[in-house]
């Protein structure tokens, strides 16, 4: 029969320290991956929200321009803002609006 040696207390200490170091390294790697994923998700949410906000602002301006082109306005005053900046209608659009209002 072969003789199997039992673990010594120094072996248990070495194995314990090795396992603790391995767990810390694995924990750090997992935290980096999770942090990167969470960071990317936060950036994705912000970008999508900004995209939606810009689309809504743009469609609001486009709707007003379409109303001007077809004369569906009470007056030819273009009073829209894009992110708080007042937008002026091109002169050709105002002329077309005035022409449509006179009909």
Residue 1 lies in a domain: no
Residue 2 lies in a domain: no
pLDDT in tens, 60-96: 888 877 877 776 776 777 777 777 777 777 777 777 7
Residue 83 lies in a domain: yes
The predicted structure's pLDDT at residue 7:
65
Evaluate whether 75 touches 81 at the Cβ level (below 8 Å): no
Residue 6 lies in a domain: no
Q: Which helix (H) or strand (E) holds 65?
A: helix 9-70
pLDDT in tens, 41-62: 999 999 999 999 988 888 888 8
Q: 10 Å Cβ neighbour count for 98? A: 13
Over 70: is that where the pLDDT of 20 sits? yes
Tally of structural domains, the chain: 1
Q: Tell me the average pLDDT across 16-35.
A: 91
The predicted structure's pLDDT at residue 51:
93
Residue 41 lies in a domain: yes
The residue to which tokens 């970008």 are assigned: 47
Token digits for 59? Answer: 């469609």
Residue 77 lies in a domain: yes
Query: Domain span at residue 20?
Result: 14-102
């Amino acid at each position: 029969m072969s003789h199997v040696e039992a673990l010594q207390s120094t072996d248990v200490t070495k194995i314990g320290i090795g396992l603790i170091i391995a767990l810390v390294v694995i924990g750090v790697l997992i935290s980096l991956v999770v942090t990167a994923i969470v960071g990317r998700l936060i950036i994705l949410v912000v970008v999508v929200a900004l995209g939606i906000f810009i689309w809504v602002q743009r469609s609001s301006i486009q709707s007003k321009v379409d109303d001007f082109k077809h004369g569906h306005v009470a007056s030819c005053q273009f009073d829209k803002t894009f992110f708080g900046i007042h937008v002026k209608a091109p002169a050709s659009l105002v002329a077309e609006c005035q022409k449509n209002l006179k009909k």
